[in-house]
Amino acid sequence: MADSAKKVLFVNSEIFPYLPESRMALIGRYLPQGVQERKKEIRSFMPRWGCINERKNQLHEVIRLSGMNIIVGDVDRPIVIKVASISAARMQVYFIDNEDFFKRKQLSYDESGTFFDDNAERAIFFARSVLETVKKLRWAPDIIHCHGWISHLLPAYLKKAYVDDPIFSGSKIVLSLYDEISEDSFPANFAKEAEFGNLTEKDLPLLKTSNGIELAKTAVQYADGVILGSGSIAPEILDYCKEKGLPMLDFDASKLESGAYVDDYNSFYDQL
């Protein structure tokens, strides 16, 4: 594929300035801009976390994209799509919203530091909502680049449940791994609840007794390439990446600091 024809979908947990500065949030902000400046088309998605000030950031609902429902945990959950613009970068960010999952002010842990007991359902809802919304946009990405634990089910859905969908027929999954991966446990029924279409419990063996590490390994299982966004990734995840023989881009703190990483990431996309 020619560079001019390439489309990159960014699926983020964090994007600055909607969330405070962190390595992941800054990459979520500047990587799409850099890739767009290198003549690729981009779309960016993230959850509409409850701590995001909608008025300050000028979020507004996209009625034509909202209104879909996804069943998670036997409950019909409505998807609300909101959008905001980062004018300096000439790019839009799409926000996946749901009153039950994203109204709370915290991201993964409550005020007492307890891992939310519905984080598995939130990950299921977010991953499927992104893919359904992209289908509704009729925008076929060549690369889908996932950042953050809440995006880690998307590779499995893409490769199993959406494998025959023409929108995603040419899509490759790039997975960035960071040091935000939690060792807190998900419910024992995670794999069963994640079932959808051709994705069955048997396709998610690592989620039988799972935590964030096993969820990250599940993302690796269905990825086409891995980028290390931190120098302190759990050894068992790195070993699993090597076992799978996936193309990998090593962590380089100096390039992340200078912004030179954008060229490396852009070239990595083109090699897949």
**Mean pLDDT in residue range 238-256:** 96
CA distance 200 to 31: 33
What's the rounded Cα separation, in Å, for the pair 67 and 260? 40
The model's pLDDT over 214-231, given as tens digits with 9 standing for 90+, comes to 999 999 999 999 999 999
Evaluate if residue 5 carries a pLDDT over 60: no
Burial class (CB in 10 A: 0-12, 13-18, 19+), 231: exposed
Secondary structure letter of residue 195 according to DSSP: -
**Residue bearing tokens 């890739």:** 35
**C-beta neighbour count of 235 within 10 angstroms:** 8
The pair of structure tokens assigned to 120 is: 């598995």
Q: Where does residue 230 rank: exposed (0-12), middle (13-18), buried (19+ CB within 10 A)? A: middle
**Alpha-carbon gap, residue 233 to 226, rounded angstroms:** 12
Q: Per residue in 143-186, pLDDT tens?
A: 999 999 999 999 999 999 999 999 999 999 999 999 999 899 99
pLDDT given for residue 73 in this prediction: 82
In order, the DSSP letters of 39-102 are T-EEEEEEE--TTS-HHHHT-EE-TTT---EEEETTEEEE-EEEEEEEGGGTEEEEEEE-HHHH
**pLDDT mean across residues, the chain:** 94
- Entry pTM: 0.96
- Beta strand pairing call for 143-147 and 91-97: unpaired
Q: What confidence score (pLDDT) does residue 88 get? A: 87
State the pLDDT confidence band at 266, using cuts at 50, 70 and 90.
very high
The residues, any chain, with a CB within 8 Å of residue 15's CB and separated by 6 or more, are 25, 28, 29, 44, 46, 93
Determine which helix (DSSP H) or strand (DSSP E) holds 262, and give its type and residue range.
Answer: helix 261-271
Close Cβ partners of 51 (under 8 Å, ≥ 6 residues apart): 19, 105, 106, 107
The answer on pLDDT for 260 being more than 90 is yes
